[in-house]
Amino acid sequence: MLEHFALGAQIALQPLSLLMMLLGVAWGIIGGALPGISGSIAMALLLPLTFGMNPAVALMMLAGVYIGAMYGGSITAILIRTPGTPGAAATVIDGYELHKKGLSGKALGVSLITGTVGGIVSVFILVGLAVPLSKLALAFGPPEYFALGVFGLALISSFVGRDLLKGAISGLLGLILATAGTDPFSGTPRFTFGGTDLLTGVELVAGMIGLFAVSEMFQQIAESEAWAVIKGKFSTDLPTWVELIRLKTAMVIGIVMGTIEGLLPGGGGAIAAFISYNEAKRWSKTPEEFGHGSLEGVAAPETANNVVTGTAMIPLLTFGIPGSNSAAIMLAAMLLHGISPGPQLFERTPQIVYGLFVGMFVANIMMLVLGYLSLRPAIAIVNIKRPLLLASILALVLVGAYSISNRMFEVWVVLGTGLLGYGMRRFGFNILAMVLGLVLGFLVEVNLRRSLLISLGNPWVFFTRPISVALLTFALFTLLWPIIRQAREDRRAKALQTVQAS
């Protein structure tokens, strides 16, 4: 084992390897921060450049892009309420609230430091538990994936506060939007209105950009928020050691959830981020701060996002099963260089595997340095005059939307979902609930139908498997707990009013 690490370090610490990783991390941060250019797209753009490279160096560079994009996605999520990557959608909730309070530096600092901790921990998990943990992924079949999706949808009750009806309607809108496209089983077009543009469905990144970024811009333009009041207050102060120590519970939750989702194909960090946010709120000593600018609300999802960068490599390297879209690009790069993933990969080409391990550790350190250097420029950019800022963001958003698939259709999707999101804001509906429905819609539908096909239509298939039963039980508890808590608070408030009246 030690000789393998020495061999990997010898490759990873070469000047060329370090340069490629540095460029990869830098491009990842930029690509993650640009609306429409997610981590997987940023990796795909660099894939042709790996021709002729040493396979180990190529994989380390792409891993650097993956790691950098996770932090880059949080930059725009915090500063302009636009998640650069799907996994950063949960970071928007408290990150943007901290930015509005002038605590931009603390929010970005928490994202950077907890993300780096999560990334480094994920490398150790990858090294020590690659083979044992990969067996857990094999225990998940369609019933378990369906139950996981239901558990994710149950989190809506934690986001919507007292207005559960509008929250449920918002989540339902997201689920309906997720069904547009081609039926995954029969191949029949659904909700395409006779056109071809919607055959592939609503692009998730485009929908999220519209619902978050464009709707926010429409709201600021319509309501003329007092920008001058908060201008100049933005601080670049990083979180103190005391504040970071208080985030330990949120980081542990993010590590656990990121590890679990990284093992499951198709995750990508979004589900882990939302679940981590919800559990951090549940276990927090100050849950009332969530949604109003909680550092824990940034730490938990960002830790989970970055843990996924390492744990997603476990099923990829051991079984050839990518745990996320970005891991799928890594798989393409491996096949491009003639590398066959599987248990024998560790024996036949240890220099590639252990070079990747060492390279991912180094890339996380590079992300910490580059992320720190980008703090002041990023905050300065969003602290310019409001009309110029909004025009620049809108132009960037529309260019990013077009770059998703080089079609004008995605631009119209962004503008359409932006108008929809603005209308939802005006009438009190919850955008996050709709995004969660959009993210989980395909996972829930496909695995529900697969499970019923396997069981010949018997719904008891979800209650005869331990993992799916456990997840559905957690989902029921997650759904009912906010309702029970509100009922208790209402009873206490009435009792207090009775005592005061008497």
Contacts (Cβ under 8 Å, ≥6 apart) of 210: 413, 414, 415, 416, 417, 418, 420, 421
What pLDDT, on the 0 to 100 scale, is given for residue 103? 84
Q: Give yes or no for a contact between 77 and 92, defined as CB atoms under 8 angstroms apart.
A: yes
Contacts (Cβ under 8 Å, ≥6 apart) of 143: 447, 451, 461, 462, 465, 468
Least confident of 112-116, 179-183, 339-343, 433-437: 339-343
What pLDDT, on the 0 to 100 scale, is given for residue 402? 81
Contacts from 345-348 at CB under 8 Å and sequence distance 24+?
A: 345/317, 346/317
Distance in angstroms (rounded) separating the CA atoms of residues 459 and 376: 54
Label residue 202 by pLDDT band (50, 70, 90). confident
Q: pLDDT (tens digit, 9 = 90+) per residue, 72-126?
A: 888 888 887 877 777 788 888 898 888 888 888 888 999 999 999 999 998 888 8
How many angstroms separate the Cα of 285 from the Cα of each of 79, 279, 296, 341, 348?
26, 12, 10, 44, 50
Mean pLDDT of the chain: 81
Q: pLDDT (tens digit, 9 = 90+) per residue, 428-482?
A: 888 878 877 887 888 889 889 999 999 988 889 999 888 899 889 988 887 887 7
User: CA 493: distance to chain centroid?
Assistant: 38
Label residue 231 by pLDDT band (50, 70, 90). very low
Q: Give yes or no for a contact between 321 and 312, defined as CB atoms under 8 angstroms apart.
A: no
**229: pLDDT strictly greater than 50:** no
How large is the average pLDDT for residues 182-194?
A: 85
- 3-state DSSP: the chain helix, strand, coil percent, rounded to 5? 75, 0, 20
Distance in angstroms (rounded) separating the CA atoms of residues 209 and 431: 12
14: phi > 0 → left, psi -120 to 50 → alpha, else beta; which?
beta
More confident residue, 423 or 345: 423
**347: pLDDT strictly greater than 80:** no
Helix ranges (DSSP H) in 264-385: 270-283, 295-311, 313-319, 325-336, 345-348, 350-373, 375-382
Helix, strand, or coil here: 465?
A: coil
What pLDDT, on the 0 to 100 scale, is given for residue 281? 87
**223: pLDDT strictly greater than 70:** no
Q: How far apart are the first and last CA of the chain?
A: 75
Label residue 317 by pLDDT band (50, 70, 90). confident
Label residue 227 by pLDDT band (50, 70, 90). very low
Label residue 60 by pLDDT band (50, 70, 90). very high
Label residue 274 by pLDDT band (50, 70, 90). confident
What pLDDT, on the 0 to 100 scale, is given for residue 25? 93
Please identify which residue in the block is written with the tokens 């960002």: 302
How large is the average pLDDT for residues 246-264?
A: 85
Greatest Cα-to-Cα distance within the chain, rounded to the nearest angstrom: 84
What pLDDT, on the 0 to 100 scale, is given for residue 226? 46
Domain ranges of the chain: 2-501
